[in-house]
Amino acid sequence: MKLMIFSFGYFFHYLAPLIQIRNGVFPNYLPIDNQYIPRVNLILLIFYTVILFLPSLKMNFLHSNKLVAENITKSKLDLFNVITILMLIMVTLLFGPNYFLGKVSIYDFYNTSISLIIIAVINGVSVANFLYTLLFITRMRNSNNFFRLFFSFIPFVLINNIFTLSRYYLAFIIILFVIVFFRDKIRPFSFMFLLFIGITILFPILNIFRDGVDIYLTNDILSRLSEQYTQLHFDSYSQIITSLKYVDNRGYMLGKTTISSLLFFLPRSIFTVKTEGLGYVLAEYLGETTVYGQILGDFNNLSASFISEIFVNFSYFGLLLVPWLLFFILKHTKIESEPVLYGILLGFSFFIMRGDFMSSFAYFIGAIVIIYFIPKKFFS
């Protein structure tokens, strides 16, 4: 877990801002302001120092896969497979074949809230079906499971392909399967190398695919590789500057966006004081106070790193206390002894660190429910 956090810090809070400062402007169009850079560095120093001295969560997965697989019976797995195939047929009938090429989006048919639920369900169910099929096959090596593998793989690869998914979800799937099936074979250095390749090469390439097959065929991949660090994908450092400016002008949020994020599932008709995510709040602030609004209009899909979330809501004290609080929560849940649950956490760690917290936490909880809790109950 620490490796993921420090890797994120290297790329998003060290390498990317160095390149951006050299170019003279940040991705969110904030000027290079020497008044704020030392304060941002102090915030980062506090946070990463606290993370450094946190005890490590030691994975204890011995025999965990066998215990999970022992509860998977052929009849229940086949039923899960049928449900997934029926879901794939429904997706095809509702959205058409173009959905699998990124030419059609679920957001074209439903509002954001409904779309997020649908995406979480169809992606999560297809991932869970393929994951638990592989776990079953690793236990029943002598059985003929070709058709089970085939009929779980088809919906998995069609629904979770490079044209339909965001980068973070594809990264989550890869990390989840690595943790569940290859954790004993991969060492920290090898994992670090895979992260480096993923962020420097796969990250910008996948960002081309997400625009659909037609856009991909007309894109210059090499230019994407060289320019990614100056784009909004790496706005995490500059958004901490925005957080400082926001706090200086409007004060701390005192937990408002964090509580709203934790209670994301409550509609505003019930939770009347629910705020937008911090990324949206900071985008609105930039639009009102800087040239950002003139350049990008009402575009508000900006990140707000977990560090910004902590600072804007709980100030410097939060940077010292929140990491410890999260460590004790994770330790209490014994997440390090559950390979699927730990894989989900590790897979979403980059997304949660980049933010904003409301969207990343909602997807994270959705994955836990659909990929971990529901299958665990289903196969018990």
Predicted confidence at residue 220, as pLDDT, reads: 57
Mean pLDDT of the 128-155 span: 85
- Contact call for residues 330 and 323 (beta carbons, < 8 A): no
At residue 67 the predicted structure's pLDDT band, cuts being 50, 70 and 90, is low
pLDDT of residue 292 exceeding 80, the answer is no
Reported pTM:
0.86
Estimate to the nearest angstrom the gap between the alpha carbon of 30 and the chain centroid.
Answer: 25
Question: DSSP 3-state assignment of 31?
Answer: strand
- What single DSSP character describes residue 97? G
Mean pLDDT of the 345-374 span: 90
Higher per-residue pLDDT: 112 or 343: 343
Mean pLDDT of the 134-138 span: 87
At residue 101 the predicted structure's pLDDT band, cuts being 50, 70 and 90, is confident
Higher per-residue pLDDT: 230 or 43: 43
Q: Which of 14-28, 169-183, 247-261 is modeled with the greatest confidence?
A: 247-261
Hey, which residues does 31 pair with through a beta bridge?
Answer: 25
Predicted confidence at residue 61, as pLDDT, reads: 59
Higher per-residue pLDDT: 254 or 271: 254
pLDDT of residue 336 exceeding 60, the answer is yes
Burial class (CB in 10 A: 0-12, 13-18, 19+), 252: middle
Task: Encode burial over 110-128: b for 16+ CB neighbours within 10 A, e otherwise.
Answer: eeeeeebebbbebbbbbbb
* Spatial distance between the Cα atoms of 30 and 224, rounded to a whole number of angstroms: 22
Higher per-residue pLDDT: 364 or 204: 364
Give pLDDT tens digits for 32-48.
Answer: 778 889 999 999 999 99
Structure-block tokens of residue 99: 């959905």
Element housing 331 (H / E) = helix 306-333
Higher per-residue pLDDT: 267 or 243: 243
Question: DSSP 3-state assignment of 25?
Answer: strand
* Spatial distance between the Cα atoms of 219 and 297, rounded to a whole number of angstroms: 25
At residue 209 the predicted structure's pLDDT band, cuts being 50, 70 and 90, is low
Question: DSSP 3-state assignment of 164?
Answer: coil
